[in-house]
Amino acid sequence: MNTQESIQNGIQNAFKEHFEVELTKDQISLVPTRKEFEGTYTFVVFPFLRSTKKSPEESARLIGEYLKDNVPEVVDFNVVKGFLNLVLGNASWIDLFENIRSNPSFGQKPSNGQRVMVEYSSPNTNKPLHLGHLRNNFLGYSVAQILEANGYEVIKANLVNDRGIHICKSMVAYSKFGNNETPESLGIKGDHLAGKYYVLFDKEYKKEVQKLITEGKSKEQAEKEAPILLEAQNMLRLWEANDPEVVALWKKMNSWVYEGFEETYRKMGVSFDKYYYESDTYLLGKDIVEEGLKKGVFFQKEDKSTWVDLSSEGLDEKLVLRGDGTSVYMTQDMGTADLKYNDFKLDKSVYVVGNEQDYHFDVLFKIMRKLGRPYGDGLFHLSYGMVDLPSGKMKSREGTVVDADDLMDEMIQTAENHTKELGKIDGFTPEQATELYEILGMGALKYFLLKVDPKKRMLFNPQESIEFQGNTGPFIQYSHARIKSILRKAKQLGIEYKSTDFSGISSLHESEQNLIFILGEFEKKIQLAGQEYSPSVIAQYLFDLAKDYNRFYADVAIFQEDDPLLVSFRVALSEMTAKTIKKGMGLLGISVPDRM
């Protein structure tokens, strides 16, 4: 039984004894005591005044007395209005620390027997990845790690959007203006080559529309009839008819893009267990439409188009299959949901997709539940906000995006400049230095994107946004490197701490207590992050942990201490902090250096 539980027990008994009331454990919530008051846990008595039939102060005092007398962990208490602050003794701090450090699976829950798929990234193959994709990829990868730490078996999936009119746009532009350029001949990545032609298509298209308008067409007409658009539409038809020439071009350009993506993913540090391609899945889902019609979940209109009526659930009617029998996005997604389930027998399925698709997924999930899918309740849309620039929204077609590759390179470059300025690369080989810059640059970037609640839209200012001081990745990485330096010195001095018994320690510094307390919160935070699908919970926690450690570091001098037992204890406490930082940063997909 841990400290919290024994306090809860004590409170239960106190209520029985003094007020003759039976409370259940989950009615008794303990909150951390605010910094300005003495104590570790606070019990709020206001909600129970009806059963205590006494003033808040009196009720709190009675419970406090009882706990002090009957719960060994509680050595003192104080009452402020209706808040009962409990003070824990040294022994329970040491106990708590021993518990944490003797747990070999700290930060990793045992298997819960459930399997979850996290689908993220899901790029289009007509353009390179940009800043928005970075948020998506880092989120998806991190959530996968967090779910794994919560005991799930996780499958990371990438559903590649490799077909459709937008892909044909790049292809048309390339075949018209490409002059047989290749990534090699241009010396650029394949995804950037495709992106170049996607932008070129848009330019050309706008030019043609303008020309048609001056020839007297209406804007709508011109936008529909621009020759280059007709070419793209024709190419899509040819592709669907398996035209050898179009398919060959499609394969060639896609393979370039995949090579480019692979390189970007490697730099991002993300990976996938399963790839799905829309060129394989885009015809799926029609059988589900049949099934839905039979079950009466869907209905047909006069033009033979198939719809679902969700008005009873507060939504509208929604098309699921066109009148001519061709698919829409929804059709495909219904089919893919079944495909994923049949491939892996999933208990849960997480879609990491931007919040502009909230409505779509709301509809999709409601449909799958109406159809009685066993996985219906396990579907979850991890909806995240856009990343805005000071100049506003990013648009690929107009080229106003922050390119993912460029940004990562810039971050690494900045890390290099910063490190050199601080003169911190003594004793590094060139390879080690390069690795360090990458760890720091990527750490800064990932932490910046993950520390914010995923649901919220966020602002990225290229000039100011990413710092190396304060609430940043490098700050946490720095704390880790500092501890590693302590551990190296401890080893050098021959200090034994791994199996030392610390129960003889009689007094702990306040910053040591704080540190033990926050270390003890780690598993709760992992659980919360898993429930909420929110890496920001972990990021926030790690910042607090690093801050508490740095406070401790400044407050006590580890090796100057006379008592060898205390020296060992402080080294052990440091080591545990480093382990927790490393594990936690791992959950965010961020590496930590041993030196920096």
- Of 125-184, binders to RNA (CB under 7 A) are 161, 164-166
Tell me which residue of 86, 82, 8, 19 sits closest to 46, measured CA to CA: 82
In terms of CB distance, is 12 or 550 closer to RNA?
550
Residue 24, phi then psi, degrees to nearest 5: -90, 160
Q: How far is the CB of 128 from RNA (least distance, A)?
A: 16
* 560 part of the interface to RNA, by CB under 7 A: yes
Tell me how far apart the alpha carbons of residues 34 and 412 are, in angstroms, rounded to a whole number.
39
Query: How many Å apart are CA 273 and CA 293, to the nearest integer?
Result: 35
Q: Is 551 in the site for RNA (CB under 7 A)?
A: yes
The nearer residue to RNA, 188 or 569, going by C-beta atoms, is 569
Opening angle at CA 389, ends 388 and 391, nearest 5: 125
- Which of residues 345 and 456 has its CB atom nearest to RNA in the complex? 456
591 binds RNA (CB under 7 A): no
For the chain, count helices (H), then strands (E): 22, 14
Nearer to RNA by Cβ, of 451 and 579: the residue is 451
Q: Are 587 and 149 in contact (CB under 8 A)?
A: yes
CB of 485 to RNA, least distance (A): 3
188 or 580, CB closer to RNA?
580
Among 121, 336, 472, 580, binds RNA (CB under 7 A): 472
- Contact present, 121 and 514 (Cβ < 8 Å): no
CB of 42 to RNA, least distance (A): 3
Beta strands 153-160 and 115-119: pairing type?
parallel
β-sheet bridge partners, residue 369: none
Closest by CA position to 407, among listed 446, 356, 350, 367: 446
Least Å distance, CB 303 to RNA, is: 5
Comparison of 115 and 551: residue with beta carbon closer to RNA? 551
Does 12 sit near RNA (CB under 7 A)?
A: no
Instruction: Decide if residue 5 touches RNA (CB under 7 A).
Output: no
Q: Which amino acid is at 203?
A: K
Q: How far apart are CA 329 and CA 334, in angstroms?
A: 9
Contact positions with RNA (CB under 7 A) in 571-590: none
Q: Is 289 left (phi over 0), alpha (psi -120 to 50) or beta?
A: alpha
Among 8, 332, 513, 580, binds RNA (CB under 7 A): 332
Candidates 415, 519, 526, 588; binder of RNA (CB under 7 A) is: 415
Q: Pick the binder of RNA from 452, 495, 526, 576 (CB under 7 A).
A: 452
Answer yes or no whether residue 426 interacts with RNA by CB under 7 A: no
- Give dist(CA 93, CA 396) in Å, integer: 55
* Closer residue to RNA, CB minimum distance, 37 or 177: 37
**What's the CA gap between 292 and 497, in Å, rounded?**
65
540 binds RNA (CB under 7 A): yes
Residue 173 or 539 having the CB closest to RNA? 539
Residues 76-115 interacting with RNA (rule: CB under 7 A): 80-83, 85
Question: Looking at 180-188, 237-245, 397-405, 478-486, which segment touches RNA (CB under 7 A)?
Answer: 478-486
Q: What contacts 146, CB < 8 A, 6 or more positions away?
A: 526, 529, 530, 533, 535, 538, 587
Are the beta carbons of 37 and 85 closer than 8 angstroms? yes
Task: Centre a 10 Å sphere on the Cβ of residue 526 and count the other Cβ atoms it contains.
Answer: 25
Out of 451, 579, 582, 583, the residue judged to bind RNA by CB under 7 A: 451
Is the CB of 188 or the CB of 354 nearer to RNA? 354
Asked if residue 386 binds RNA (CB under 7 A), the reply is yes
Nearer Cβ to RNA (345/457): 457
Nearer CB in complex with RNA: 36/220: 36
Report, in Å, the least distance between residue 185 CB and RNA: 30
Q: What does the alpha-carbon distance between residue 230 and residue 188 come to, in Å, rounded to a whole number?
A: 29
| Options 120, 475, 522, 569; binder of RNA; rule CB under 7 A | 475
* Binding of RNA by 194 (CB under 7 A): no
3-state secondary structure 178-222: CCCCCHHHHCCCHHHHHHHHHHHHHHHHHHHHHHHHHCCCCHHHH
Which part of the chain contacts RNA (CB under 7 A), choosing from 137-145, 344-352, 543-551, 578-586? 543-551
Is position 374 an interface residue for RNA (rule: CB under 7 A)?
A: no
Contact 77, 14 (CB under 8 A): no
Site for RNA in 254-283 (CB under 7 A): 278
Asked if 492 is part of the footprint of RNA (rule: CB under 7 A), the reply reads: no
Tokens (6 digits) for 384: 């995240």
Residues 223-242 that bind RNA (CB under 7 A): none
Interface segment toward RNA; rule CB under 7 A; list 68-76, 206-214, 549-557, 578-586: 549-557
Near RNA in 500-539, by CB under 7 A:
528, 531-532, 536-537
